[in-house]
Chain A
């Protein structure tokens, strides 16, 4: 009886600590990330952007403020009423930038999730099985890598026509080989670790080894790549829209705002300055965060 009581208390105290200990690796990474001020600046900006995207409708009404033209208000300089001025048809630039963040982040995220899933699984299979499987998968990826990512996206957009869905597909396809390479590279050293051999020696199936042992141990470079690649994707969206291949007007998009403001750059520079700055700050924020994550996740610095 006494013995039973004892084990119960052990479990009880264990439960109290359990929550803390389970998150240990994540917590430790977070602590080290928090020490890196530039990464925290990046993270803060990313959070602001995400909040903007989520609450865009609360801040500015889409129909009346973002796409409704108001010629009497056209080309006004920044003021209290319009902090970033108005464009050539009288729409508030700030309102369009806020709603534009929604487009950029949505498409960037969707394309990245797709690239990550497809590229990640292909890379993991290639790295884990090696030999012929590796050769076949990676040579196909090399074919995609031989074409510059933006050019590949332009080709796909030109072939499929411009719509948000096609843009996601174009960006996802051009991002996939990069993920495949990164994941394969991360899986290769893990595959030969003794704990993978040990897992095999206790009767694990290949599927279980890949998902339970190999992938969790090769996540760090993938997280970094995902953050960095989001920046690249947002830049590509803006680039494609600037060229008229991405989002078509009147949908607010940073790249197409730049493109439209181009004609007025001599007299009304703010039309291009603010969207340009937004793009730059966004990319910078994601890169700072990615750099910080890379340092925080690097096992050599632990």
Chain B
């Protein structure tokens, strides 16, 4: 039944069973182990997880930018609006990057070329992908004009376009990065922790702006973050990723109000609670497992308070709470997942 419903969805991005390894002389790092992701057209998916869970690798694989060597896509499929990007040639990918799919990188301080005026950097993506009115590639002056418009759009005066990145503050640089990413109206925007390097007031501004632009252009978005506050602010659906696998996925409401997986619960417990400041934070004990040597069973079981014998030896199956919301955990079966109440929340 679930299959049928999924087939009717209009998916912008559809990743199935993606396996990515980094093969180095020191061993094989299993970055992604059968990752599944779906983003509907115009919706925003939050990809939440710890450092090293494989969030950035996911973003880079969509653009086919995994550094190779050592990175190898071993298995799985990545479909953009129904087309498999793994079958595309490098030339075809160059057309897709920046036009159909754009990426915002984590650190605006280093993701702009320091010796190029910012408007030239915005114009670059426009020149590469857009045609002028005469059907020929757009002229440089027309691209610069459009670049200035983009700057105004993200709230920077157009006449500052001739300035260099070091003349901008961090928040403004991130706005420039966003302007570059949105310059060609991409269908999918991959935002890799876009606000991590910014302070909170600027974070709020940038998020607010991204929300506005997303609605204006109907862009689908993959929001890669470890900040649950941002997820609550901007996402429609949430996928929680652990050791390269989605362990819980659902709508924002499903995941926040009907949390089922012990790891997701752990993430929520790591947030301070303003109303009950006397409660101690309950961080998740331990660290992410060594990706070169993952546990045989559930990857989370060494850190899990609810771990059972079976967790050590077998991979947990996927259990659905409703059409969207699923969990990969041995705690649940078809019946008790609807009721919940197994976790101490």
Contact = CB atoms under 8 A, between A and B. Distances in A.
Contacts of A201: 63, 65, 97-98, 102-103, 105
Interface string B85-115: 0000000011111110011011100111111
A18 interface: yes
A212 interface: yes
Given A198-B111, A217-B113, A217-B115, A204 B162 contact: no
Interface in A199-222: 199-205, 208, 212-213, 216-217
A300 interface: no
Nearest to A131: B69
A200 B159 CA distance: 27
Contacts of A7: 158
A202 B162 contact: no
Instruction: Please report whether the interface of chain A is mostly helix, strand, loop or mixed according to DSSP.
Output: helix
A205 B94 contact: yes
A139 B162 CA distance: 42
Interface string A10-30: 110110011001101100000
Given A22-B162, A25-B164, A212 B124 contact: yes
B99 A203 contact: yes
Contacts of B103: 198, 201
A61 interface: no
A165 B302 CA distance: 73
A10 B105 CA distance: 31
Of listed A195, A205, A208, residue having the most chain B CB within 10 A: A195
Contacts of A216: 113, 115-116
A217 B114 CA distance: 8
B112 A195 contact: yes
A194 B111 contact: yes
Contacts of A58: none
B202 interface: no
B117 interface: yes
Contacts of A18: 162
Contacts, number: 90
Of listed B65, B69, B116, B161, residue having the most chain A CB within 10 A: B116
Interface string B296-308: 0000000000000
A203 B95 CA distance: 6
A198 B105 contact: yes
Given A198-B111, A203-B98, A17 B125 contact: no
B125 A202 contact: yes
B78 interface: no
Interface residues of B, number: 38
B129 interface: yes
A298 interface: no
B97 A22 contact: no
A197 interface: yes
A187 to B, nearest CB: 14
A299 to B, nearest CB: 8
A140 interface: no
B154 interface: no
B163 interface: yes
Contacts of A195: 110-114
A212 B127 CA distance: 14
Nearest to A193: B110
Of listed B93, B94, B106, residue having the most chain A CB within 10 A: B94
Contacts of A205: 94
B113 A199 contact: yes
A268 B163 CA distance: 61
A195 B113 CA distance: 6
B117 A22 contact: yes
Contacts of A21: 117, 162-163
A17 B105 contact: no
B158 A14 contact: yes
A13 B96 CA distance: 37
A217 to B, nearest CB: 6
Nearest to B149: A7
Interface in A251-292: none
18 contacts: A10-B158, A11-B159, A22-B162, A25-B164, A195-B110, A197-B65, A198-B103, A198-B105, A198-B180, A199-B113, A201-B63, A201-B97, A202-B98, A202-B180, A205-B94, A212-B113, A213-B116, A217-B113
The 3 closest A-B pairs by CB, nearest first: A202-B98, A14-B159, A203-B97
Interface of A: 7, 10-11, 13-14, 17-18, 21-22, 24-25, 131, 193-195, 197-205, 208, 212-213, 216-217
